[in-house]
A and B are shown apart, each in its own frame.
Chain A
């Protein structure tokens, strides 16, 4: 989903403010909101993928203006409503106001089953795919090529797991991209690594440009 949550590489923000932002929580209701959501995940009312996507589905203005823990609360309340645990009416009545929830989800997708054989050192391209539902490939690597530097154990395919579809587990690969390949002539030089699910990747030919010999 090409939503506001997909922030990597967006421009126009000011500097990072650390002074009063070193603590994880700044108010007691924030701890409560996080605790409620942790409990709901622990009780398998919803999973982490559904939770993340419920945040992503907040109306863009709401997403941008809400604090981090308002987003946590909104996702928890939305999923409790969508799963039939509470009604909007009882939440609004108990809150004494109309509580904004996230917008409905677009359909998800199951994992492709024709996965390429991949290993550390291989060059891969992130498929040029546009996903209406939840996905964990940031837009800044879409269609870009990089090199696999590590492999992680299989975990549920998020594009399915967030949408109540069969989340056949897949390995994930840490792929190293050169920032200058992601944002040519408009970035600081760095190696940017993104964990990518097997289903997001296809094999790529070796690059013609000169890459550092230690890049594997």
Chain B
């Protein structure tokens, strides 16, 4: 595949379609700009600021833009789904691999694999359990299949022990998996975390 990709790259550079810095620019965006910390900061602020939370749930794209997070043209809407003690939301793309990648980061390998794409809509509780999230039967599951220009992000339930934490410290708790909805952050699903101890890792 390296050779084939290099061949296409050279041909397109010769034709002036690909710029010399196209690959470097893209690599920089995916590794330095389009990161789950963006979504994490939206969640942390929503947890601390009820007015911002309403804004985020009503118009996710505008709320993200207000914090400087842009979305591509074909991501026309960011629909944010709030987890509660009795509701768990999870996103997928059965037809390909769509995510709000500028907000939650590029889709992980498993999200794009056939196993997840085929099974999450039909056997959500089983798949989540296999991935380490064992939900009690009382917790209702809502699956969101990304089939249009609307993108989704989960607003995880804030772990109760984090009351009073700063926005920055809260944001460091939020993972890409929790923004996709294959993880919950509150005990007993995730033990008590100290994000300060994770610094430097």
Task: Please give the residue numbers on chain A whose beta carbons come within 8 Å of chain B beta carbons, in ascending order.
Answer: 5-11, 13-18, 20-29, 31-36, 38-40, 43, 45, 48, 52, 55, 64, 67-70, 73, 76-77, 80, 85-86, 90-91, 94-97, 99, 136-138, 140, 150, 152-153, 155, 172, 174, 179, 182-183, 187-197
Inter-subunit contact A31/B27 (CB<8 Å): yes
Q: Which of B6, B26, B118, B144 contacts A193 (CB 8 A)?
A: B144
Inter-subunit contact A23/B148 (CB<8 Å): no
Given A7-B94, A138-B95, verify A45-B7 contact (CB < 8 Å): no
Listed stretches B119-127, B164-172, B188-196; interface member? B119-127
**Is B130 engaged at the interface, CB distance under 8 Å to the other chain?**
yes
Given A15-B115, A39-B22, A193-B142, verify A68-B10 contact (CB < 8 Å): no
Shortest CB distance B16–A (Å): 10
Interface of chain A, main secondary structure: mixed
Q: Which of A10, A20, A195 contacts B150 (CB 8 A)?
A: A195
Contacting residues of chain B (155-201) with chain A, CB-CB under 8 angstroms: none
**Is B83 engaged at the interface, CB distance under 8 Å to the other chain?**
no
Q: Which of A22, A85, A152 contacts B108 (CB 8 A)?
A: A22
List of A residues within 8 angstroms of B94 by Cβ? 6-9, 138, 140
Given A152-B149, A155-B148, verify A33-B5 contact (CB < 8 Å): yes
**Is B15 engaged at the interface, CB distance under 8 Å to the other chain?**
yes
**Is B11 engaged at the interface, CB distance under 8 Å to the other chain?**
yes
**Is B143 engaged at the interface, CB distance under 8 Å to the other chain?**
yes
| A-B residue pairs in contact (CB < 8 Å), sample of 6 | A32-B6, A34-B30, A73-B1, A152-B76, A187-B122, A194-B147
Given A7-B94, A152-B148, verify A99-B76 contact (CB < 8 Å): no
Of A17, A32, A86, the most chain B CB neighbours within 10 A belong to: A32
Inter-subunit contact B17/A194 (CB<8 Å): no
List of A residues within 8 angstroms of B3 by Cβ? 95-97
List of A residues within 8 angstroms of B114 by Cβ? 7, 10, 13, 64
**Is B37 engaged at the interface, CB distance under 8 Å to the other chain?**
no
A-B contact count (CB 8 A): 231
Shortest CB distance A12–B (Å): 8
Inter-subunit contact B113/A17 (CB<8 Å): yes
Instruction: Give CA–CA (A26, B77) in the complex, Å.
Output: 29
Instruction: Give CA–CA (A190, B92) in the complex, Å.
Output: 14
Q: Which of B17, B105, B145, B150 contacts A24 (CB 8 A)?
A: B105
Instruction: Give CA–CA (A146, B195) in the complex, Å.
Output: 42
Q: Which of B5, B95, B123, B144 contacts A73 (CB 8 A)?
A: B5
Instruction: Give CA–CA (A187, B127) in the complex, Å.
Output: 11
Q: Which of A36, A68, A138, A153 contacts B147 (CB 8 A)?
A: A138
**Is B12 engaged at the interface, CB distance under 8 Å to the other chain?**
yes
Given A36-B8, A188-B122, verify A195-B113 contact (CB < 8 Å): no
